[in-house]
Structure 1
């Protein structure tokens, strides 16, 4: 499969996404000769907004991961707590049974066995009973051992449950911070966009969509996905599901069916094929077999950027389908428009 090298527009697009946070100073309002603030430049606004969206997506993927961890830990904690409760009931019954046996022996007298044999009118019968008592003693010792072992297991489960609860609390703190970071970046991005007129905002959005279309079509009338078959029947089903969502809006944390974030689109599409992917782009990067970009086939996941915070699905012809960022919709993109970190065959 031939991969079209990045065009000048694509390289500019990639650079825009990689602008550092320091670039936000470029929009500082400068005074004119009369002291009035200068009108913000659309290119500067776009660069900063793209950077903020990239940072928001990074925080969103962390949030998605923390949310999945929280669900898992909650389930594990509930299971351990149930085990502790059941174990305590079992231990209470075992202790009660042991106490009943001990009380019965105490009431029987505790007389020395030799004396009991001398006083017995039926020594042979007593010896049979003595052997039974010895066996009962061994069983009682075994019961005591079981009680102690049950206590050990119960203490272990309590320790595990406590550790899970502490871990769950830490994950919930991470989730709250990540969500706050997402909202902060989105708020900053919206403030920048609000510095432009409504017409300018519409122009920016339309220009971005147009440039993405041009990259995907390479100047042709429509996107050519080629004739390369998917890697499997399930991959074909996942591709069909993803393509059915072209034009759906991007929403952070969403897994469909009406809106998606980048990893949410992959997660939903593969679910329609009967496959459960990990929730985040970073986890999806390790959710299958790694292949080279030159070996990519429809249905493969393409992980972008060095920190793997974005993902799309390869659909053929050097093209991916992905959910880009807030305000944009699920669309095609040239696979070379963003730095590829990994290609994964599910």
Structure 2
């Protein structure tokens, strides 16, 4: 499926509302964080400039996205640990039931021997009205004793494995608790940075905020269109039919808000958009951008074709999908919306063909 050529740039002008809804989109207006630096005592407070606020807000959004990907990774690991812990708990329950049954069988045999104990076998043979039948029973008792010994060994072995499963379960539960603490910490980091960014934006006057929003939207449009009024994605075909389907799904979500930890279908974070889009093509990607960096074949940027994943920054904490013509579609950062962006707007750390 060929990608569109010189298609209109949807969603760019809607981005003008994005920064104003940062706190509403992420639900963190009430989080408590430290304010901006104060002026020296006695000196008049200098109003923040639009340029300074934009630089600080961009930095805070980048930090928030890094914390968001850590949150996503911890959340995925928590799900995996919960599944493993549940399986171990099921094994422990089944093992305990088996050990209990085997012990009950051993107890019944021991009780029978106790009730018949104290009588010499020779005397029992003499008193028996049917010596042949007694000898047959004696041979059966010998066989039963062998089975009892075997059962006893099995009980010891089952108990050993049961204790091992219990120890593994306890370790998994402890690890799960540690992951839960990590989740809470990452979430708090995201909330703090988003709230501080919102306060910085609120420190501007209404006119300056409007100019900042307009500037951000204009810069994004200029980067994606190279200064023209139309978007040219070129005519290069996608790397596969599934890649074409994934790209179409991602482009269809242009204008959707960025919300950390979200995988759609109405809101997304950067890796969540890739995860959702490829799911529409029948492919299950890993959840986080760092994991997605290893989800396929590594290629160079010069080899990129529509549908390939493009990883940004050294730690691959951001990801977009190559759309053609040196443009990616991505969920940029908290407060923004899914949009087209020049691939050169951020440092590329790798390209992956799924």
TM-score range, shorter chain: 0.7 to 0.9
Q: TM-score with structure 1 length normalisation?
A: 0.86
CA distance in 2, matches of 1:59, 1:270: 24
Preserved contact between residue 65 and residue 334 of structure 2 (Cα < 8 Å): no
CA distance in 2, matches of 1:202, 1:115: 109
For structure 2, list consecutive stretches of 5 or more residues without a partner in the other structure: 1-35
State the partner residue of 1:20.
Answer: none
Aligned to 1:216: 224
The count of aligned residue pairs is: 319
Q: 1:122 to 1:223 in 2, by over 3 A?
A: same
Structure 1 residues 14-53: aligned runs within 5 Å = 35-53=43-61
- How much has 1:161 moved relative to structure 2? 0.8
Residue 175 (str. 1) matches residue 183 (str. 2): yes
Deviation at 1:112, TM superposition (A): 4.7
User: Which 5+ residue runs of structure 1 have no aligned equivalent?
Assistant: 1-26
Please, which of 136, 142, 148 is the counterpart of residue 144 of structure 2?
Answer: 136
Shift in CA distance, 123/35, structure 1 to aligned 2, threshold 3 Å: closer
Report SS of the residue matched to 2:238.
coil
Residue 92 of structure 1 pairs with residue 100 of structure 2: yes
Change in Cα spacing, 1:159 to 1:29, as seen in structure 2 (3 Å) is: closer
**Any idea what SS the aligned residue of 1:239 has?**
helix
Q: How does 1:249-260 map to 2 (within 5 A)?
A: 249-260=257-268
Question: Cα deviation per residue 1:98-151 (whole Å; 9 max; x = unaligned)?
Answer: 100111122222545466557767665544333322221111111111111111
Equivalent of 2:241 in 211, 216, 233: 233
The change in CA–CA distance for 1:110 and 1:288 in structure 2 (over 3 A counts) is farther
Residues 1:344 and 2:333 aligned together? no
Contact kept? 2:246, 2:281, Cα under 8 Å: yes
Structure with the bigger RCO (C-alpha within 8 Å, sep 6+) is 2
Indicate which of 69, 89, 92 corresponds to 1:61.
69
- Map residues 129-208 of structure 1 onto 2, 5 A cutoff: 129-208=137-216
* Normalised TM-score (structure 2): 0.85
Q: 2:282 aligns with which of 253, 264, 274?
A: 274
Q: What corresponds to 1:3 in structure 2?
A: none
Q: 1:153 to 1:337 in 2, by over 3 A?
A: same
CA distance in 2, matches of 1:191, 1:121: 101
Residue 86 of structure 1: how far off its partner (Å): 2.1
Task: Report SS of the residue matched to 1:229.
Answer: coil
Any conservation in 1 of the 2:274–2:320 contact (CA below 8 Å)?
yes
Look up the SS of the partner of 1:314 in the other structure. strand
1:5 corresponds to:
none
